[in-house]
Amino acid sequence: MPVIATVTGATGFLGRRLVHSLLEENDLIVRCLLRESSDTDALYENVPVIARERIEIHRGELNDKKFVEEHFANSDVVYHLAAALGGSASTMFLNTVIPTRQLLETAARVNVGRFVLISSMGVYGTQTVKRWGTLDESTPVDPMPEKRDPYTFSKVRQETVAQELSESLGLPLVIVRPGVIYGPGRSAVTSRVGLPLGPMVIRMGGGQQLPYTFVENCAEGIKLAGLTPDMSGEIFNLVDDDLPTGKRILRLMKQQGQRIRTLWIPRGAIGPLSRIYEWYSNWSEGQLPPVLTRHKCEAMWKPLRYSNAKAKHKLNWKPKISTEDGLQQTIAG
């Protein structure tokens, strides 16, 4: 019997790479649950005709319990990638947390073999890690996620819900926490590098490591988290080797002829500036929104090291694309 791997969010930036990675496995069927409006062109791109036969497309809404139940049935593993990437906290919760709760309940009801939840490395609280210390799977999750951005807040809640339901319903669960996923089609200049201000980027520090993972490396790790035996209850961080710094990314972009204007905020100034900004935001009752707070700055730009040892050891994962190559491909577009 072939393994049935069901994927939500299969046409997304990461999802289609996961599908391609899964198709490298023999005797495996990839079942994609897509919205009516989802475009499948990129999903089939560069997939050999023979492998295309192993892609099942089912269209419907993830909040349609009947649709989900029908297609979760017989699934050996469900990879849940679908999530909102932007919007207010309520929008993020509505499109990320609430569907996840329903999917987990359905998965337990139809005895899915394993549920792989794609979370984010952003869920960690860095308060307990010293500067230049190592952040790994033993680092606690942020105890005050509501003080972070809506995406991180929704991801922390999504994990909590998943862990509670996994325990109460007896559903085998694996959580994968990728770092910042980049690759062709998505810029390498993210909020970890700095904040956009009109046509400029305010570079925050710049010498600290960034927890990045190239999209194809990340997809490979996620695949292994679903297929490697006896992983129930495990959590894996996915970041590449030889992690880049913001300075390195911006330098590479300039070397490749891209014009990017930056304003540098030295690392030592980030703390005091964030305190002043946070004070002003509170004093003015939100005349300027609290986008730059001490809590957020610590989480985003504190100089840390990021470990991928557990994924390498337990999943036998190895980032195939080097950071240098990944950045070159991304900047080239």
Partner 1 sequence: MPEPTHKLKIALLGCGQIADAHLSQIARIDSVEVVAVCDVHEDLAYQAAARFNVPKTYTNLDRMISEVRPDVVHITTPAHTHADLSIKLLNAGCHVYVEKPFTLDATESASVLAAVEFSNRSICVGHDQLFDPMWLRCRDWIQRGLIGKVGHIESILGYPIAGNFGALVAANPNHSVRKLPGGLFQNTISHPLYRITDLMDEDQPKIIGGWHTQPEYDFPTEMQLSFQGRTQSASLTFSTHIPPQRITRVYGSKGSLEIDIDAQTIRLNKIAKLPGAFAKLEVSWQHLRNASWNFANNCWRFAKADIHYFAGMKGLFETFYGSIQNGTDPPIPPHQIHRVTQLMDRIFDHCREQDGTSRINNVSTTPNQEVSKCL
User: Nearer to partner 1 by C-beta: 132 or 283?
Assistant: 283
Closer residue to partner 1, CB minimum distance, 150 or 326: 150
Q: Which helix (H) or strand (E) holds 112?
A: none
Asked if residue 43 lies in contact with residue 69, where contact means CB atoms within 8 angstroms, the answer is: no
Phi and psi angles of residue 178, each rounded to the nearest 5 degrees, phi first? -70, 155
In whole angstroms, the minimum distance from the beta carbon of 278 to partner 1 comes to: 14
Nearer to partner 1 by Cβ, of 63 and 187: the residue is 63
Buried/exposed 220-245: b ≥16 CB within 10 Å, e otherwise: bbbbbbbbbeebeebbbbbbbeebbb
Minimum distance from residue 60 beta carbon to partner 1 (Å): 12
The CB-of-101 to partner 1 minimum distance in angstroms stands at: 7
Q: Smaller CB distance to partner 1: residue 147 or 247?
A: 147
Residues 6+ apart with CB under 8 A from 97: 154, 157, 158, 161
User: Distance (Å, rounded) from C-alpha 273 to C-alpha 3?
Assistant: 53
Q: Which is nearer to partner 1, 294 or 312 (CB)?
A: 294
Q: Which residues bind partner 1 (CB under 8 A)?
A: 37, 61, 63, 87-91, 93-94, 97-98, 101, 146, 153-154, 157, 161, 283-287
Smallest distance, partner 1 to C-beta of residue 90, A: 5
Q: Name which of 37 and 46 has its Cβ closer to partner 1.
A: 37
**Contact at 8 Å (CB) between 162 and 117?**
yes
* Residue carrying structure tokens 């050996």: 76
What's the min distance (Å) between Cβ of 154 and partner 1? 8
| Cβ 316 vs Cβ 224: under 8 Å | yes
In whole angstroms, the minimum distance from the beta carbon of 158 to partner 1 comes to: 9
